[in-house]
Structure 1
Amino acid sequence: MASGKIEANKEVLQKVFSQDFWFVIPEYQRSYVWQKDNVSELLDDLIFAFENKPENEYFLGSLVLKRKDNNEFSEYEVLDGQQRLTTFFMLIAVMRDLLQDEDYKNTLQSMIYQKENKLKRIPSRQRITYEIRDNVEEFIKQFIISKNGTLSEELNEKAEENNISIANMAIAMLTMRDMLREKDNLEEFAGFLLNNALFIYVSTDNTEDAFRLFTILNNRGIPLTSADILKSSNIGKIKDKDEVKKYAAIWEELEGKYGENFDRFLAFIRTMLVKEKARANLLEEFETNVYKKGKLEMGKETIKFLMHYDNIYGEIIDLENPHLSNEYRNLITIMKLGLPSEDWIPPLMYYYSKFKMEKLIEFLKKLEFKFTGDWVCQQSPTYRIEAMNRILSVIEKTDQKDLDSLLEDKDLFGIDMEFYKQLIDGEVYKRRFGRYLLLKVEYLMGDNTVHLSGYNTISVEHVLPQNPDEDSKWAEDFTKEQRFYWLHRIANLVLISMKKNSKLSNLDFQEKKERYLKQRIDAFHGNKIFIQQNATWTPDVLKERQKEIVEMLLKN
C-alpha cells in the first residue's frame, strides 16, 4: 500500500474543537489514565500563563491523527494525544457550566456537541467518540454533553467507580470545577484558552505510516511520547514472530502500567545506564549514549532490562516487597508526597539491584538527607541531578565488602549544614520546602508501628493565626514583635488532613485545640501529640518546640 499524504499544522483550541475536526478514540487505545495531579498541574500552568503572559501562545501538546476513509465529516482517529484531548473535552464542558453568559455557554456547547437540525439535515454528534472498551459513552452523555452535567453531585459517586476511565474522568472534572469555580475572570480565561492555547497536529490517511510518522515528528522536534518509537525500534530487532508477539505484549503491559509516566520510567533507566545529566531528548539519549556506547543491546536485552527494573520499582517504590520495614515505607511515602522531583529514584533502584535489602534503610536515609538538604539550600536542579549521578557512579564501583565506606562517604552525602540550619530555623511557611519539612517531622516523631497513608489532602496550618483579633488571648500572650517573629516558623506550623477553614483559624488556642486540631489532625499524629501535651501556645512553648524540631531535622 502506498504511503499517504502527511499533513502538519498548528491550530488554536477553538479550531481543534470545530467543524473541521471530529475525533474517534479507537478501541486499541488505553483508558483515560490522567490523575488529579496531571489535571491540576495542567490547569495551574494554564492559569499562570493567562495571568502572566496573556498575549502569548500556549503550546498544549501534539496530536497524531489518521484521516478516516469517509472523510466527509473531517473525521480522524486519534493515534497519539487522546489523554490531553479528552482533558480539554471535559474542561470546555466545565467552563460551559460555570459561566453565566448564555452566548459563552452556547459557544462552548457547540464545541463539544453538534445539535441535530432536521431542516438542514445536520445529525447530532459529539466532538469525540470513544470506541475503547470502558463504556464511557453513557457517562459522557450524562456529565459532559448535558448542560450543567459537570455540576452534578453524582460525579462524586462516579469518582469511586471501578471503571478506570469513568473514575478518572469524574475526578478530573471535580478538580477542574474546584479550581475554576471561584475565578472572577473566568470569561477572560476561557477566551485566552480558545484563542491562545494551541495544538500541533499531524495527520496521515495510511495506518502503516504510523511508526514512521512518530519518527518524522521526532526529527522535526515535536515532543511526542518516546516510548512508541523505542518500542518500534526494539521490537523491530526481534526476528522470531512468536518472540515478537511475546515481547510486544510485555512492552505494552509496562506501558499500560505506567501510563503517561512511561517516558519518566524510561528516563530512570537511561539515568542508571548513563549516569550523566541528559543533554538531549530521551530518544537521542538512548540512541547516542545507551545503544551506540554499548551500555545495552537493542531488542530482547532492552526489554528484559526494563522488566528487571520494573520489578524493582514495584518492590521498593510502590512498596510491594512485604519485607520492607514501616520505617522504610514511611520515608518513601513522604518523599513521594513532598519532594520537588524524582531524581532520587534511580540511585535507590540501582542500589537495590546491586545490594538488595542489605542496609537499604541506611542508604535511603542518607539519600533523602542529601537530596532534601541540597533542595532546601537552594542548589540548582542541575546540581542536584549531578549529585545523584555521583552516587550512581560510586554505587557502580562499590563491592559488597565496601558498603560501609559508601554509606560513610561524607563528601558524597554532605550538604551545607550551616546554611541548611539557617533556612530551616527561619521562616518556612512561604518556602517551597515548608510542607515537606513538616512531613519529615511527622515521620521523625512517629514510632513506625504503622505505615503512614491516607494523605488525600494536606494543608499547612498556623496555630498562632496570621491576623488574630486585638482582644484575643493571642494578643495578650504575644507582642506584635513576637507574633511577627514566630508566625511563619516551623514551630508554629502543623499539618492538617483537610482544607484550611478560615472561620476557625483565629480561634484562641484552647478552643482551636478542642474544636479543630484535636478532631481533624488524626492523620498527622506527631503534631497532634505535641499540641495535646500543651495547655498553652506562647513564645516560650514555641521556642522549645523550634529547638526540638530543628535539632531533629539536622540529624543525619
Structure 2
Amino acid sequence: MGEADKVSVQLGLIEAHEQTIGKIFSDSYGFEIPPYQRPYAWEEEQATELLTDLLEAMDNTEISGGVYFLGSVVLIKSPADPKSLVVDGQQRLTTLTILISVLRDLTLNEEVRINRRSFVFQRANPDSGTVDRYRLLLRSQDRAFFSKFIQIPDATSELPDPTKLQGSQQRIAENASYFRRQLMKMEEERRNKLVAFIIQRCYVVAVAVPTPESARRIFRVLNARGLDLTATDILKADLLDRAGHTRELDLASRWEAIEQRLGRDKMVELFGHIRMIFERDKPRVALEDGFPTYVKPFKGDADLFMTDFLEPLAEAYSLLSNRQLLRNRFGLDAYRAVQSLDRVDNKDWVPAAILCLWKMQDGGLIAKFLIDLERLTYLLFCIRAEVNVRISRNVDVMDIIDPRPEKPVPMFGLDLSEAEQFQFLDALSGPLYTKTRVCKPVLLRLDEALSSGGATYDDIVSIEHVLPQTVNEGSDWAQLFPVEQERKEWTHRLANLVLLTRRLNTKASNWDFDRKKTQYFASEDGSSPFPLTQAVLQTPTWNLQFLKDRQRTLIQALGKLWKLEVSLLDRADDFRSKPLSATKLVEIEEGTWLSDTLRALKELGGKAFLPDLYVKVEQVRLDAKRSLPANYQAIVRKILEENSEDSDAHRKRHSLFRNADKGKGLWIVA
C-alpha cells in the first residue's frame, strides 16, 4: 500500500482517493447516512473481527507491513464540498466512530483526550469556514441516540442496557459495550498505540461521485459483487431518489417502519410476493431488475406507490403472521388454515393470500378463500407437484380474484376436480411417512381437526410408529402382524403414526404395544395432548383390522376438513386407467421441449394453429437462452402427438394436448 502519499485515479466523474482514517475523519469530509440506507446492522461478531484484525495488523508488522486496508467507501460528494453522502461504507464508518469514541473516553491524559475528540467532532473555525458538526451523521432515526451515547465526550462511560433496545440502537450499544470491555483490559500505552495505528496506518479508498445516479450505478455493481445489500436496499434507493429531497425523509421513515415491523428478510420476501402479484409468472430475472419492470406503480409517483400499494400490501402480509388478529377477524377455521399453510415447504400460496386480503372486503368471503387456499395448497404439497405447476395454479387463483383483461378466465382455481380430489386422497392414503416434508404438517393438521380447539404445537413434536418399522422374530408384534407384506403395507400409513412431545427413543420403538403406549406414548398423567395419540392410548389392542378401521376414520376426518369426496377412492381403477390431463397436476421438468411447448400454447390462450405455435415456442426457447435446432418445428409436432390421447403416437403417459381440427392444425390444451 505504500506510505501516506495520496493515490488518485480520476475516471470521468468518478474520483478514487486512498486516504488514512485520520484524513477521513477530518475537515475534508462531513459524512452523512442518506435516508435510503438500511439501519446500522453490525453485530458483536463483526465488531470482534474488526478489533482482532486491527490488533493483529498492528502487532505483526512483518506480515501486514505496518498498515491495514479497510476497503472502499462510496460517496456522493462534490470535489470542493466536504459534505459526503455515504452510499457504501456505513457499517465500517459507524463502527470505527464507536471504537474511536470508546478509546477517547478511556484516555487518561486530559489533553490527549481533548485532542482525540477532533476525530469525532468538528469544531467551528471562522478562519477556515468550518462549523460545529459531528464527523458522521447517522440516519435521522438514530442520530440523537448516537450523539448522546457515542459521540458526546464521556458518552460511552454510561451506555444504556442493550437488552432494553432494539434494531440499530441495540447494535450500537452492544458494540460500544464490547469495545469498552476489551479495551479496558489493555494498558494505556497499548491503547495509545492502537489509536495511532488506526489514525495513521489504516486506509480506505474513498470513491466520490457527484450525482446520486452515478452513486446508484456503483451501488448496483457492488451489490452484484457480493456486498451485503438486499434487493430492497436498491429498490429503496431508486424510489427515494425519484421522490426528491422534500419527500425523501418522510418516505424513508415509512419504508423503514414497514421494514422494522417485518424484518429485513421478510421485507425482501414481501417484494418478491408483490412482484408475483403483478407479474404472475415464474421470475426469470433478479428481484431488483424485475420489480420495476413488472410492478408498474413502482415507477410512477413515489407517494402513490407507498400509500396505495406498499403500505396496504405490507399490512396484508403482516396480517398473515398476526394469528390472533386473523382469528378475531375471520374466525377459528381461517386462523387454523393460515397456521397450517405456514407449515408447507414453499411460499407459493402467499401472493394469492396477500391479494385476497388486499382486494376482498367481505370477511366471510376472505375466510372461505383462505380455507379453500389451504386445501389447494395441501393438494399440491401432498402430491409433490413441482414448482411450475404450483406457480401456474396459484396464478390461476389470482386471475380469478383480480382478472387480467388480456388473459382468459382460468378453467381451474381453488376448485378441485374429481381427479384432483382422488390424487389428494390417494396421496394421503399411501405411505405418508416416506414423504418426509409432508408427513408432520398433515399429522398436525389432522390432530387440530380432531381437537376441540385447545391444542397447541411447538417445535418439539416428533412422529412415531405404533407398529414398529423393524419387527423382531418371536416378538408380540410378529404375532400380531405375522405377514411381512402386510407389515410393509401398513407401517408408514396414516393409521400407524402418532405424535409425541419428546425426542424419539429408538429402544422404546420396539416395545410391545401395552408398554409402548403407557411408558412411551403417554405423559406422566397417563394421557397425551394430541387427540391422534390419545385415541391410541384408549385402544386395547393393535392389529390389522384396527389399523384398517382407524385409517378409514382418519381419511374421513381429512376428507371432511378439506371437502374431499372420500368415496372416490372406491373408483381408483377408473382414475388410474386414464392418462392425466394438462389441467391435472402433471409434474413436468422445466426447460424441456414438453414444458416449453405447453408454456407457449398456454401463453397463446390455450389454443393456436401450428404456425403461430412454432413462433411462440421459438420465442420461449430464445428468451430462456435454450437451443433451437433447425428442425425444431418437427420436434414441436412430435411433442404434441406423443402427448395427445387421440394421436397414434401417444405414449400413454400424459394427455396434455388435443388436435381440435386435424385438417387445419389447430391445437389446444387438453
Q: Find out whether 1:457 has 2:460 as its counterpart.
A: yes
Matched residue, 1:516 = 520
How far apart in 2 are the matches of 1:286 and 1:496? 44
How far apart in 1 are the matches of 2:381 and 2:500? 24
Matched residue, 2:440 = 435
- 2:273 is aligned, of 268, 271, 291, to 268
Contact 1:234 1:298 in 2 (8 A): no
Matched residue, 1:297 = 300
CA offsets, 1:41-65, max 9 Å, x none?
xxxxxxxxxxxxxxxxxxxxxxxxx
Residue pairs, 1:374-453, within 5 angstroms = 374-397=380-403, 412-414=414-416, 416-431=420-435, 432-448=437-453, 450=454, 452-453=455-456
Q: What secondary structure, in the 3-state scheme, does the structure 1 residue paired with 2:342 have?
A: helix
CA spacing shift, 1:206–1:438, aligned 2, 3 Å: same
Matched residue, 1:552 = 557
Matched residue, 1:336 = 342
Matched residue, 1:165 = none
CA offsets, 1:377-409, max 9 Å, x none?
2322111111111111110149xxxxxxx9x98
Contact 2:431 2:494 in 1 (8 A): yes
Q: CA deviation at 1:228?
A: 0.8
The amino acid across from 2:547 in the alignment is L
Contact 1:314 1:320 in 2 (8 A): no
How far apart in 2 are the matches of 1:140 and 1:485? 63
How far apart in 2 are the matches of 1:223 and 1:136? 19
Q: Find out whether 1:315 has 2:319 as its counterpart.
A: yes
How far apart in 1 are the matches of 2:248 and 2:332? 41
- 1:361 is aligned, of 346, 360, 367, to 367
Matched residue, 2:70 = 75
Q: CA deviation at 1:344?
A: 0.9
CA spacing shift, 1:269–1:411, aligned 2, 3 Å: closer
- 2:332 is aligned, of 326, 329, 332, to 326
CA spacing shift, 1:28–1:387, aligned 2, 3 Å: closer
Q: Find out whether 1:213 has 2:218 as its counterpart.
A: yes
Name stretches of at least 5 consecutive residues in structure 1 with no aligned partner. Answer: 8-25, 35-69, 83-129, 143-202, 399-405
The amino acid across from 2:500 in the alignment is I
CA offsets, 1:199-248, max 9 Å, x none?
xxxx963487864433224667999511011000111122253x311211
The amino acid across from 1:314 in the alignment is S
Contact 2:393 2:413 in 1 (8 A): no
- 2:377 is aligned, of 368, 371, 376, to 371
Contact 1:28 1:132 in 2 (8 A): no
How far apart in 1 are the matches of 2:177 and 2:519? 43
Q: What secondary structure, in the 3-state scheme, does the structure 1 residue paired with 2:463 have?
A: strand
Q: What secondary structure, in the 3-state scheme, does the structure 1 residue paired with 2:242 have?
A: coil
How far apart in 1 are the matches of 2:366 and 2:41? 36
Matched residue, 1:540 = 545
Matched residue, 2:601 = none
TM-score calculated relative to the size of structure 2: 0.51
Matched residue, 1:496 = 500
Q: CA deviation at 1:428?
A: 1.4
CA offsets, 1:437-463, max 9 Å, x none?
212211221233x3x544122322111
CA spacing shift, 1:482–1:4, aligned 2, 3 Å: farther
How far apart in 2 are the matches of 1:263 and 1:249? 17
Q: What secondary structure, in the 3-state scheme, does the structure 2 residue paired with 1:502 have?
A: coil
How far apart in 2 are the matches of 1:477 and 1:491? 16
The amino acid across from 1:135 in the alignment is E
Q: Find out whether 1:233 has 2:244 as its counterpart.
A: no
Contact 1:236 1:299 in 2 (8 A): no
TM-score calculated relative to the size of structure 1: 0.60
CA offsets, 1:416-447, max 9 Å, x none?
22222222211111213222221221122123
How far apart in 2 are the matches of 1:139 and 1:536? 62
CA offsets, 1:270-291, max 9 Å, x none?
1222333322211222222123
CA offsets, 1:91-122, max 9 Å, x none?
xxxxxxxxxxxxxxxxxxxxxxxxxxxxxxxx
Matched residue, 2:95 = none
* CA-atom RMSD in angstroms: 3.9
Contact 2:71 2:205 in 1 (8 A): no
Matched residue, 1:187 = none
Q: What secondary structure, in the 3-state scheme, does the structure 1 residue paired with 2:329 have?
A: coil
Q: Find out whether 1:482 has 2:486 as its counterpart.
A: yes
Contact 1:271 1:346 in 2 (8 A): yes
Q: CA deviation at 1:298?
A: 4.8
Contact 1:491 1:543 in 2 (8 A): yes
- 1:282 is aligned, of 283, 287, 302, to 287
Q: CA deviation at 1:335?
A: 1.8
The amino acid across from 1:132 in the alignment is R
CA spacing shift, 1:81–1:345, aligned 2, 3 Å: farther
How far apart in 1 are the matches of 2:285 and 2:509? 49
Matched residue, 2:621 = none
Residue pairs, 1:92-171, within 5 angstroms = 132-135=171-174
Q: CA deviation at 1:355?
A: 2.1
Q: CA deviation at 1:296?
A: 6.3
CA spacing shift, 1:512–1:287, aligned 2, 3 Å: same
Q: What secondary structure, in the 3-state scheme, does the structure 1 residue paired with 2:523 have?
A: helix
Q: What secondary structure, in the 3-state scheme, does the structure 2 residue paired with 1:359 have?
A: helix
Deviates more, 1:294-303 or 1:524-533: 294-303
Q: Find out whether 1:467 has 2:470 as its counterpart.
A: yes
Contact 1:33 1:260 in 2 (8 A): no
The amino acid across from 1:270 in the alignment is R
How far apart in 2 are the matches of 1:534 and 1:424? 23
The amino acid across from 2:271 in the alignment is L
How far apart in 2 are the matches of 1:295 and 1:524? 49
The amino acid across from 1:29 in the alignment is Y
Q: CA deviation at 1:502?
A: 1.6
How far apart in 2 are the matches of 1:481 and 1:467? 13
CA spacing shift, 1:512–1:136, aligned 2, 3 Å: farther
| Bigger CA radius of gyration | 2
Q: CA deviation at 1:295?
A: 7.4
Contact 1:352 1:360 in 2 (8 A): yes
CA spacing shift, 1:454–1:543, aligned 2, 3 Å: closer
Equivalenced residue count is 382
The amino acid across from 2:479 in the alignment is E
Contact 2:40 2:90 in 1 (8 A): no
How far apart in 2 are the matches of 1:511 and 1:222? 58
Contact 2:432 2:493 in 1 (8 A): yes
Q: CA deviation at 1:31?
A: 6.6
CA spacing shift, 1:72–1:3, aligned 2, 3 Å: farther
CA spacing shift, 1:409–1:141, aligned 2, 3 Å: farther
How far apart in 1 are the matches of 2:299 and 2:384? 35
Contact 1:495 1:524 in 2 (8 A): no
How far apart in 2 are the matches of 1:281 and 1:523? 48
